[in-house]
Amino acid sequence: MRLRFLLRPGWLALTVVVFTFAVCCYTLLAPWQFRRDTEREVQNAAVRASFTAAPAPISQELRAGAEPDQHTEWRLFTMTGSYLPEAEVVARLRTVQGQGASEVLTPFRTTDGAIVLVDRGYVKLSSDSGVPSYAPPPAGTVTLVARARPDETDPKNREAAADASSGGKLQSYVVDSRVVARAAKLDIRPGYFQLDGGQPGVLEPLPLPQLDSGPFFSYALQWIAFGTMALLGWLYFTVRELKPGGALTTTRPTRGRRKSVAEMLAEDEDAEAAGSAGSGAGPAGSGAAGSGVVVGGSAG
Q: How confident is the model at residue 6 (pLDDT cuts 50, 70, 90)?
A: confident
Q: Sort strands 99-110 and 89-96 into parallel, antiparallel or unpaired.
A: antiparallel
Concatenating the DSSP letter of every residue in 152-194 gives P--TT-PPPEE-GGGTT-EEESS--HHHHHHHHT--EEEEEEE
CB 187 within 8 A of CB 84: no
Distance, in Å, from the CA atom of 209 to the CA atom of 64, rounded to the nearest integer, reads 27
Q: What is the pLDDT of residues 160-203, one digit of tens each?
A: 988 766 667 899 999 999 999 999 999 999 999 999 999 999 99
Mean pLDDT of 152-165: 85
Task: State the chain's maximal CA–CA distance in angstroms.
Answer: 149
Residue 240 has pLDDT above 90, yes or no: no
Q: How far apart are CA 291 and CA 133, in angstroms?
A: 116
Residue 63 has pLDDT above 50, yes or no: yes
Domain ranges of the chain: 2-45+215-242, 75-195
The residue among 71 and 142 whose pLDDT is bigger is: 142
For the cut 50, the answer to whether the pLDDT of residue 70 exceeds it is yes
- Contact between 133 and 139 under an 8 Å Cβ cutoff? The reply is no
- Helix (H) or strand (E) holding 281, with range, is helix 261-299
Q: Which of residues 257 and 63 earns the better pLDDT score?
A: 63
